[in-house]
Amino acid sequence: MFRWFALTVLVASLAISAWRRRQARRAAGTISRRAESRALILGRIFVALPLFGSVFMYVVTPPSMAWASLDLPPWVRWTGVALGILVVPSVYWVLTNLGANVSETVLTKREHRLVTVGPYRWVRHPLYTVGIALFLSMGLMAANWFIILWAIIALLAVRVVVIPHEEANLEATFGDAYRRYRSVTPALFPTIRAAKVRGRAGS
């Protein structure tokens, strides 16, 4: 049963992402991944292959991932289901607000604009937040330590490597506007302090 929930969440999320990304490419083109550094490309492959591969193997043939099973209580796995269900509309929300700015790389497009509304009001990189939540939900539903481990590794890689590269390009493009936005908006997870700062700024 959990496998079918995982499959539904995964397919729905990827379908929304593919649709919105195709619209963005039609509206503003795309930037080839070859424009990124070789180290960054290899790092993406290093993280993506075991993460996507393990999820794919679980939904297609669960016995092949049984070696990494965890003895999780049912309520934890149902928490994964709830998280996964929340991910689906979140993917739509994030990509709709991002619009034509969606990029396959850490580089900014020629017509890139600074988005600070919707989920971007609360965190600077909600697309990464939602992506990590998706794979964490997969790991909980599958009760699989390998998927959870690689979701955590992906989170660390995004925070330590990807975000600094992406923000360097955003700062170069938007200058003080981005620095002000970054100073009051958390990177990946909303905080009470940031909400208070934004509340005072809006009052």
Give, for all 203 residues of the chain, the pLDDT tens digit.
Answer: 899 999 999 999 999 999 988 888 887 777 777 777 888 889 989 999 999 999 999 999 999 999 999 999 999 999 999 999 999 999 999 999 988 888 878 777 777 889 999 999 999 999 999 999 999 999 999 999 999 999 999 999 999 999 999 999 899 989 999 999 999 999 999 887 665 555 555 54
> Looking at residue 94, what is its pLDDT?
96
Range of the domain at 110: 2-202
Going by C-alpha positions, the residue among 119, 80, 107, 65 that lies closest to residue 1 is 80
Residue 19 neighbours by CB distance under 10 Å = 12
Residues 37, 57: Cα–Cα separation, whole Å: 30
> Looking at residue 107, what is its pLDDT?
76
> Looking at residue 13, what is its pLDDT?
96
Q: Mark 119-142 as b/e (b = at least 16 C-beta within 10 Å).
A: bbbbbbbbbbbbbbbbbbbbbbbb
> Looking at residue 95, what is its pLDDT?
94
Instruction: Report the CATH number at residue 38.
Output: 1.20.120.1630
> Looking at residue 200, what is its pLDDT?
55
* Cα of 3 vs its chain's centroid, Å: 21
> Looking at residue 106, what is its pLDDT?
75
Is residue 162 within 8 Å of 122, Cβ to Cβ? no
Residues 25, 20: Cα–Cα separation, whole Å: 9
Give long-range contacts, CB 8 A cutoff, 24+ apart: 76-81. 76/140, 76/143, 77/2, 77/140, 77/141, 77/143, 79/140, 80/2, 80/136, 80/137, 80/138, 80/139, 80/140, 80/141, 80/142, 81/2, 81/5, 81/137, 81/141
> Looking at residue 193, what is its pLDDT?
65
Domains of the chain: total: 1
